Structure 1
């Protein structure tokens, strides 16, 4: 909880939390969600609060309810208001098997749990905003997941969204205009950033989260978003870490961004990095992706491709080729949630109002919106 959140909790003192009411209406799922969001094990939380790990397990499994005097300690350590634990408001529920993670093998179970808690809360914020603001309807083609071909699925999405054969100019703006929630995490979520990206189609709206690691290069970022769209269309029942599903999502992304029927005739017949750079900028994909396309189409030999990768690596290590950040491309920066929050504010529903409704601190709302707060930090004195 930062200083602005402390001020928020003090200014809300007129709405004193009724500990007995929270204890009577305690929602175990909220404790689990808050613990995951904080990245704490049951044992670590128990140590901080002064109870046993078994007690935390009993709270989360409905076997027991925390005593009223334990609630403030739980709230303090999990950085949520006490009434966060109260039942009676919608909760996004995503099982670990219902989310796809871009960097599963390099992340811990704790980081994945934290990511799932965040994706649930992004949906909850979206739900709260949708009560005030009309969002675009979800518009995605129906894909037979039992007989799905990733290339055909990408072609189906291109046709559904009316893209024809042209490059996808602003992938994130396009996805948002068809009802997909996209969130670009701020650096405040350092632990979740190790996940790379994650998505789910098991909520009322598909949600894609991309972390700063994938946003350092706009081309890697666009491919990542396309990859997650592939999971949403192709893989309803996720098997975390399934290599075949990851390959299929990559094939989907490549076809969505660079349709083979078009790119095959444009690729040079030698590994010409200057020409590949021109194509990279026109189609909005990395040179690496185009080299892979050349390999797939058999345009040049594999030894030439290897030499191309080596030369590209040398250029990058010497600083002659640097990645372009996402924030240089407004059409790739998610805006749907932030714009909805702005419209809600115009209608008299402020960020603080949203925080009170969700039982969050305002800083959490800002994180879920993907908004970095540049205001000076306030300090409570006296």
Structure 2
């Protein structure tokens, strides 16, 4: 079996051990030798590796895998204060979910990716891409995006909710085997989830799928481009603009209930579309803060549940008769990963078993 030294680093960090801590737990393993192995500079005996992987409660076969899903193809919405430990946990989580999506594809056929991607270098704007995407989905100009998860999943984007820290919003990527994936924080409000999903959809359509060439001068603009896409996708300028002139705080609850977006994003939309002055924008945010609306807007909105990943797991369990232990063994990962990422995820995109 060919050993991939990066997988040991992955397993060690997943269990929360430093090199020094892990080497102190394994007889015959020194920190310098472990460090050299993880850098690919030397080898460790199979006997020692078996001890290490057994201690970490990972299958030995995990060392033969190549879980990449590199972060260059992922787009975070996170606070700058995120700790290294939390960042590693988030990155490993989306990589593992992407890996499981790829592994499930050996037995299941995920829906085809049918969205049209557009390269901004060819003169398109995020707003144009959003309008084109709404038209492709059959949404009327004045229609809110109600079943957002279903609309994306039936068109080939897997969405997974992750039980994550508050500083993480979401991430998008194309898995190692080419499946578009969005991972969002399940603990946020529905309107925040909606904007995150739309934001990550923008990344996939403009920045990730088909590997468009992105010049250096645009690297710092990617987040703004995704935000512009999300705003137009969820709140089309043509439909919402008339209702944003002379905007008052009392209007926001009704607008939120219709467009299914946060009051804060509606206020920003009004400013961006030139419907309110900077002074009015500032005043509304002061009022937001004074009334405690920055933490809880007091109005919840609907969002449908992502289903593809959950159904993929359920079909392995029910139709293919895998136990969690067998599934973990087949994927060469610990069973607790199956429990963490698959067992808590629950509109009806269709999957079928490959024969």
Tell me how far 1:316 sits from its aligned partner. 2.4
Paired position in structure 1 for 2:336: 363
Tell me how far 1:126 sits from its aligned partner. 1.4
**Do residues 201 (structure 1) and 174 (structure 2) align?**
yes
Paired position in structure 2 for 1:287: 263
Aligned equivalents of 1:82 and 1:145: distance in 2? 45
Question: What does residue range 1-150 of structure 1 map to in structure 2 within 5 Å?
Answer: 24-49=1-26, 51-76=29-54, 78-85=56-63, 87=64, 91-103=66-78, 105-147=80-122, 148-150=124-126
1:229 to 176, 201, 205: 201
Tell me how far 1:279 sits from its aligned partner. 1.2
Q: Deviations over 1:204-223 (max 9, x none)?
A: 111111124xx421111111
Aligned equivalents of 1:288 and 1:368: distance in 2? 31
Tell me how far 1:109 sits from its aligned partner. 4.6
Q: Deviations over 1:142-195 (max 9, x none)?
A: 211424421112122212222232210021222111111111112xx55xx533
Tell me how far 1:261 sits from its aligned partner. 1.0
1:245 to 215, 222, 233: 222
**Do residues 153 (structure 1) and 164 (structure 2) align?**
no
Unmatched 5+ residue regions in structure 1?
Answer: 1-23, 374-382
Aligned equivalents of 2:45 and 2:273: distance in 1? 65
8 Å Cα contact 1:155-1:255 kept in structure 2: yes
Tell me how far 1:138 sits from its aligned partner. 1.3
3-state DSSP of counterpart to 2:182: strand
Tell me how far 1:135 sits from its aligned partner. 1.9
Paired position in structure 1 for 2:234: 257
Aligned equivalents of 1:337 and 1:100: distance in 2? 20
3-state DSSP of counterpart to 2:121: coil
**Do residues 164 (structure 1) and 133 (structure 2) align?**
no
Aligned equivalents of 1:116 and 1:43: distance in 2? 22
Unmatched 5+ residue regions in structure 2?
Answer: 347-355
RMSD: 2.9
More helix by share: 1
**Do residues 322 (structure 1) and 295 (structure 2) align?**
no
Q: May I ask how many residue pairs the two structures share in their alignment?
A: 335
3-state DSSP of counterpart to 1:141: coil
**Do residues 353 (structure 1) and 326 (structure 2) align?**
yes
Structure-2 change in CA distance of 1:202 and 1:153 (3 Å): farther
